[in-house]
Structure 1
Amino acid sequence: MAPNDSAETGGGTRGTAAGRRKAARYIVPVAVAGVAAATIGLVPALASTGDPDLPKITAQELIERIAASDTERLSGTVRISTDLGIPALGGLADAFVQGGGAGGGGASADPQERMTELASGTHTLRVAADGPDKQRLSILDNASEYSLIRNGDEVWAYDSGSDQAYHATADESARDSGEKPAHPAPEGAPATPKELAEQLLEAAGPTTSVTVDGTARVAGRDAYKLVVKPKQSGSTIGSATVAVDAENGVPLKFTLLASAGGKPVVDAGFTKVDFAKPDASLFTFTPPKGTEVTEADDAKAQHEQGKGSDKGLGKGLGGLFPGAEGLGAEDGSVKVIGEGWNAIAEIGTPGGAALPSKGSEKGSDEMPAEAQQFLDSLGDKVTGTFGSGTVFKTRLVNALLTDDGKVYVGAVTKDALVQAANNAS
């Protein structure tokens, strides 16, 4: 077993541009939470079959090995388990999801709708990649399969259960960012263990401890365990462990633990992996006869139309919090309090819109009873010198919504949010 070794992340291991590293330090909690909530990519929990005896390696050397890895061909099976501690939506789905996603006439094969499934529960996936322009990700259910396929400029998604397909081109998928996506998943959603690890390490700063903590066997391969922890107290994040292939530097497993303990918040890892060239047929797709095909531009127009509607999720966050659709826009304001793992974003709703109360009259613009019940199940009422508000909790990210329309959010404890609001009042 390799001995413990540590490295600060303040030197050359944090990225290439100093400005980018500085900005990243302020979003460590957001980046790590994004790993957990925005789909977490392709990989979970495996039992070790014995710790291999590998040569010593420092944390810096292991990070450099990840960065230098040029493996672009692989295929395998992945299991991903995510437990953010969010209560079941219950009637909230019926109250809000009307006209979007699989449940209401939208494109059920749309990646923006379907990839959110990975944010909860346990899923089995098959993945394959052959260079930067050929990738496939399939989510396996008991009686159906959902696949995302990229082959050159063509991007397809297909849901065998509903016989619906989604089609886009790589240029369309990258229109907002100006870059071609490295994988077929929605922008911002890590799609491989490598991406999860790189996103985490890029965001790490001086408030982070990085160590090599022994070895492991993952999917039949020898691996080093890289452990990333906050040095600060008060974060909801306990640690993140990345199992790195000892031969080629490819991350094979990613495990995220909450500081409060319990089972992993995210546990993603290969159960089988092969670094040989995948069969070319995996990256070809022709919609079966009778398949309903939605083009990306049509789906985007449908989403935009829904955002302006008066029902369903169409109003986005504004359906729950008036004015929230403008958060971070020119008419709102965002300020970062603190740094590193304890960074808190203070967000002002345009016009100081307050949290709505439960509506009782039919046709009221106030919050539906089902939505209020769901929010109450998440939230704790709090008071302070700032006034009063509600703290909404998950196992990672907590948010304080004050009654006068401010939002404080971060991967920090409830007390830290209240203190930040008090200090800002």
Structure 2
Amino acid sequence: MAPNDSAETNGEATGTVVGRRKAARYIVPLAVAGVAAATIGLVPALADSGDPELPDITAQKLIEKIAASDEEQLSGTVKVSTDLGIPSLGGLAGSFAQGAGAGPGSDGSSASPDTKLMELASGTHTLRVAVDGEERQRLSILGEGSEYSLVHNGDDVWGYDSESNEVYHAQAEGKKARAGGKGGEHKAAPGTPKQFADEALAAAGDTTSVTVGGTAQVAGRDAYKLVIKPKQSGSTIGSITVAVDASTGVPLKFTLAPSSGGKAAVDAGFTKVDFAKPDASSFSFTPPKGAKVTEADEVQAEAEKKGAEQKGAAEKGAAGKALEDLGALEDFKGANVIGEGWNAVAQIEIPGGAGLPTQGSEGMPAQAEQFLDALGDKVTGDFGSGTLFKTRLVNALLTDDGKVYVGAVTKDALVKAADTAK
């Protein structure tokens, strides 16, 4: 039996926990979608089994329970099921990596975390995870006859693809900071569904309803269901449900349902979980004999060298200027936020006012062209004309004069935001 559906139990959570960081609440849709699309970490499509009887709890108390959870050790099996309404990104990720040349996370190495984890943005995947505090984590993606492992152990982060026998090695955040380097470039291995919950709850504010939606049993453990919904219309996100372990306060499952209906866009949860300390051997890694090892520092140095060469070429003529403009696509002038909460839309200006590259543009992989063509629709409005790229969660409008509008909002809401900015 679920907790009583009373105003106290299911009332909207208020107070310091939900209200904090209100200045950042416009990032709710982007933060959630970003996590879902790029670092899906741990997501099982395990159905709830049972409706256990648990003491009544308010949403505020449940959020505080999550925040107070001190469980730093666990291991388990997770299944990732993601349906963002986009084609598989596995091959596309590799094409972008090869086309981009050397660069952190985009060096063409099949063991690069940025390249491999992008595959989790579509389809269903089985993972194994082990966590022992902030210094040691391991995430393994199980394939058919192969395995990809991402291991963080102290000062080192290792990525290993057994299929290609390639290794990617980087310094962990802490070591970078201690050495005076650029900390934060290589984050530790993804954690648990708690990361999803933290992102959503940290940005919850006046435009968000947070309630308790009953109970569930996940991975054999009793849990409360925390339901997060936008109060506004126009968002592509219908609701977020977090199954919270009744005993430890650890999020066990994360489900993101689109407002358009249908199956969940992201369904994340443990199928097996153990809160005992994982064996130390889980976090030890030595490159196998004969494996190709890519060092992140060397990749970064090569990328900086190429950047300097492009800058020099740009100063010599029109051809060089074209290269400079292409390289500048990653260096946006900044984003202006239109609207608030779940309906927030980021407006970004591309340097040089470059619109969508035309078909057959030099340097654009064929798979990238197919990907863009599959998603893009021509739209017009007071802003002018442009191309709308749609997923089940995030929509983006690229205008012909080089502006980008992106948000977890419907097509009409996105066009309206572009018209308003115009």
TM-score normalised by structure 2 residue count = 0.86
2:257 matched to which residue of 1?
257
2:396 matched to which residue of 1?
399
* Contact 1:379/1:392 (8 A) holds in 2: yes
Aligned mates of 2:218, 2:58 — CA distance in 1: 20
Letter in 2 for 1:279: D
Letter in 1 for 2:122: S
- 1:108 alignment partner, SS class: coil
Q: Between the two proteins, what is the percent identity of the paired residues?
A: 67
The partner residue of 2:372 within 358, 372, 375 is: 375
1:419 matched to which residue of 2?
416
Instruction: Kindly report which structure 2 residues correspond to 1:116-195, keeping only aligned pairs within 5 A, or say none.
Output: 116-170=118-172, 171=174, 178=183, 184-185=188-189, 191-195=191-195
* Contact 2:98/2:108 (8 A) holds in 1: no
Instruction: Kindly report which structure 2 residues correspond to 1:187-336, keeping only aligned pairs within 5 A, or say none.
Output: 191-304=191-304, 323-327=328-332, 332-336=333-337
* Contact 1:321/1:354 (8 A) holds in 2: no
Aligned mates of 2:379, 2:222 — CA distance in 1: 49
Aligned mates of 2:295, 2:63 — CA distance in 1: 40
1:107 matched to which residue of 2?
109
Q: Please state which structure has a larger fraction of its residues in helix.
A: 2
Cα deviation digits, residues 205-255 of structure 1 (max 9, x gap): 110001111111100000000010000000000111000000000000000
Report the aligned-residue RMSD: 2.8
Letter in 2 for 1:324: L
Cα deviation digits, residues 375-406 of structure 1 (max 9, x gap): 22201111111111111101100011111111
Aligned mates of 2:185, 2:307 — CA distance in 1: 26
2:57 matched to which residue of 1?
57
Aligned mates of 1:306, 1:125 — CA distance in 2: 36
* Contact 2:75/2:130 (8 A) holds in 1: yes
Alpha-carbon distance change, 95 to 278 in structure 1, aligned in 2, over 3 angstroms: closer
Aligned mates of 1:45, 1:213 — CA distance in 2: 19
Cα deviation digits, residues 93-144 of structure 1 (max 9, x gap): 786553569xx97322121221112111111111111222121111111111
Letter in 2 for 1:424: A
2:317 matched to which residue of 1?
none
* Contact 1:225/1:242 (8 A) holds in 2: yes
- 2:98 alignment partner, SS class: coil
Q: List gaps (5 residues or longer) in structure 1.
A: 311-317
Deviation at 1:306, TM superposition (A): 7.0
**1:340 correspondence with 2:344:** no
Alpha-carbon distance change, 299 to 3 in structure 1, aligned in 2, over 3 angstroms: farther
Alpha-carbon distance change, 321 to 375 in structure 1, aligned in 2, over 3 angstroms: farther
Aligned mates of 1:122, 1:309 — CA distance in 2: 42
Alpha-carbon distance change, 305 to 200 in structure 1, aligned in 2, over 3 angstroms: farther
The partner residue of 1:13 within 17, 21, 38 is: 17
- 1:125 alignment partner, SS class: strand
**1:26 correspondence with 2:64:** no
Alpha-carbon distance change, 321 to 388 in structure 1, aligned in 2, over 3 angstroms: farther
- 1:3 alignment partner, SS class: coil
- 2:10 alignment partner, SS class: strand
Letter in 2 for 1:210: V
Letter in 2 for 1:55: P
Aligned mates of 2:181, 2:244 — CA distance in 1: 32
- 1:400 alignment partner, SS class: strand
